[in-house]
Amino acid sequence: MQILSADQLRLADEYTIRAQCLTSWQLMERAAQAVFQQLKSDFGVSPKKYEIFCGPGNNGGDGLALARMLANQGQHVDAYLLDTVRYSPDNLQNQRLLNASVAHNTRLHIHRLSLDTAFEHVVDDEAVVIDALFGYGLTRSLGPEWASLIGKLSQHRGPVVSIDMPSGLLADRPSPPGSPIVKAKTTYTFHAPKLSLLQPDNAAYTGDRLIILDIGLSTEQIGIQSKSHHYTDATQVRMMIPHFNRFAHKGTFGHALLIGGSYGKMGSILLSSRAALRTGCGLVTSYVPSCGYEIMQTGFPEGMVWMDGGSEQLASLPASEKLSAFKAIGLGIGMGTAISTQAALRAFLVELSDRDHSLALVLDADGLNILSQNRDLLALLPVETILTPHPHELERLIGRWDNDWQKMEMAREFAHTHHAIVVIKGAHTAVVLPNGEIHFNSTGNPGMATAGSGDVLTGIITSLLAQGLEPKAAAICGVYVHGLAGDLAIQGIHPKSLIASDLVKHISRAWVSIQPAASCSF
């Protein structure tokens, strides 16, 4: 799914109106109807109190149309309209329609909002508050005169639903610190998420739920827009994943090598190895120090164990000529950063760079920490090596950033310079490609912020590489499957209780969701 800038969305709206022979008001009705249906799904159809705050433009027009629809369904609606001298034409049309509804509906009330005085109205704690003040078209931050109203909406104890964008948040650039922005609990956005809705800096405003509403924008115009930002969904992943056939055998699906582990940290590579095999590669070998032999053989009987000469940490890595059996390597999990291990990684990368290998490589955890301490090693990485840092590891690689927008640009420059793929882990995990594209993930939940979750991700991505996916597809699909496994896990496990082993257990259900067995070519 393509993420569009505010200017690109405006063009898509205009094209849709022309291509589908609509008026702009009809497209607004379509958007309001989509919100109306989602509210029914979220809050039911029994009578409730809705307080809808409407701005002067088309986002406010959406709110006015929504007020009419809710009132016609029998809901109690108070619509608050900003008092100004300038309204958009479609906003004025919906004002007229709403005023006509008031005459025969005692549950509908319209009020005028003024910013000249502090907003003194007490919002009903039981009400569903709808923020329809401003959408993606907002071009500058709101001034201090908005602080009273925005603050009152943000402090509401009940549901706060923002339509398209939390009002005050700019769609595709950072909002100035301290500017008034609604703190929504849920955001309903149209067509695709706006870039600012995916940034960790804006978590306080976008809420716990981001719901994308399809309003039927014409895909022809969207397809020719710049494609630098994407939002990964099941449709995209389904097109990338490998398929079975009835003549397949374990060699068909590739052999993955997981390298890591050290005394006290064998759980990391155990999780990663289990995740790799559960994701679908045919064979998994774990390369570990001798202290991990019994742990791996006991905890992962389906896998093979290759022991290093080191007893408590890796003292060497496999020689290049012994890697021909493998299609992908995941390296660094629980490996530690001992001097001997650093030397081993250096020798390994030097040897890889000197030979013509088609091996795909994933670097995680201590592999990344060693890389950041020895930056000359970056030049030795195979093209499109996948790096999977958490925020602190990323900072050690690319440097400190002031905000998420700067972080994106720094990560993009790093990926381009080093011909690497950078997976920025977190909510809406971002896959940054060497060509400048950034793919944000749509799956996952806060319960996945737990020890070992990243080790599982490394195993999943390495497995997909071993199965023959190109690095770009393996990173994008791996992140999606990982998050989906987490989402399926919390259907039966409280997010606070989620552990990394639960993710491994739910990889199969993630595959069922993406590619039901009945659709496989057995």
Q: Please give the CATH number for the structural domain made up of 6-227.
A: 3.40.50.10260
DSSP symbol at 245: B
User: Quick check: helix, strand or coil at residue 217?
Assistant: coil
Strands (E), 271-425: 283-288, 304-307, 328-333, 360-363, 386-387, 421-424
Band of pLDDT at residue 437, cut at 50, 70 and 90: very high
Question: What are 260-283's pLDDT values in tens digits?
Answer: 999 999 999 999 999 999 999 999
User: Where are the alpha helices (H) located in 447-506, listed in sequence order?
Assistant: 453-466, 471-489, 500-505
Write down the pLDDT at residue 356: 61
Residues in CB range of 362: below 8 A, 6 or more apart: 328, 329, 330, 331, 385, 386, 387, 388, 458, 461, 462, 465
Residue 512 φ then ψ, to 5°: -60, -40
Give the residue-averaged pLDDT of 346-362: 86
Residues 299-303: contacts with CB under 8 Å, at least 24 apart: 299/270, 299/274, 300/270, 300/273, 300/274, 302/277, 303/273, 303/274, 303/277
Residue 66: C-alpha distances to residues 83, 98, 158 (Å): 19, 10, 19
Average pLDDT of the chain, as a whole number: 93
pLDDT of 305 reads 97
Cα-to-chain-centroid distance, residue 382? 27
d(CA 230, CA 404): 16
Domain ranges, ordered by start, for the chain = 6-227, 249-337+364-374+386-512
**Reduced DSSP (H G I as helix, E B as strand, rest coil) percent helix, strand, coil of the chain, to 5:** 45, 15, 40
Least confident of 119-128, 276-285, 459-468, 492-501: 119-128
Averaged pLDDT, 85-97: 96
CATH 3.40.1190.20 fits 249-337+364-374+386-512, yes or no: yes
In the numeric block, which tokens belong to residue 424?
């920025």
Q: Are 218 and 12 in contact (CB under 8 A)?
A: yes
Confidence check: pLDDT of 9 > 80: yes
Q: Where are the alpha helices (DSSP H) in 54-187?
A: 58-72, 89-102, 147-154
Q: How confident is the model at residue 519 (pLDDT cuts 50, 70, 90)?
A: low
- 3-class secondary-structure state, position 339: helix
Q: What's the rounded mean pLDDT across residues 147-168?
A: 95
**417, 399 contact by CB (below 8 A):** no
Name the band, by pLDDT with cuts 50, 70 and 90, for residue 472. very high
Q: What is the pTM of this model?
A: 0.94
Does the structure show a pLDDT above 90 at 223?
no
Residue 517 banded pLDDT, cuts 50, 70, 90: low
String of DSSP letters for 157-204: SS-EEEESS-TT--SSSPPPTT------SEEEEESS--GGGG-GGGHH
Cα–Cα distance between 181 and 138 in angstroms, integer?
A: 12
Tell me the three state secondary structure of residue 521. strand
CA–CA dist 174, 170 (Å, integer)? 7
Q: What is the Cα 299 distance to its own chain's centre? A: 32
Q: Which residue has tokens 């329609």? A: 97
Distances (CA, A) of 495 to 222, 453, 483, 488: 36, 13, 13, 11
Per-residue pLDDT at 401 exceeds 50: yes
Region 172-188: what's the mean pLDDT? Answer: 95
Q: Please give the pLDDT value at position 518.
A: 53
Q: Is the pLDDT of residue 224 over 80?
A: no
Q: What is the pLDDT of residue 521?
A: 45
What one-letter code names the amino acid at 318? Answer: P
Out of 4-8, 17-21, 211-215, 221-225, pick the least confident.
221-225
Q: How confident is the model at residue 185 (pLDDT cuts 50, 70, 90)?
A: very high
Q: Does residue 515 carry a pLDDT above 90?
A: no
Q: Which amino acid is at 50?
A: Y
Binning pLDDT at 50, 70 and 90, where does residue 522 land? very low
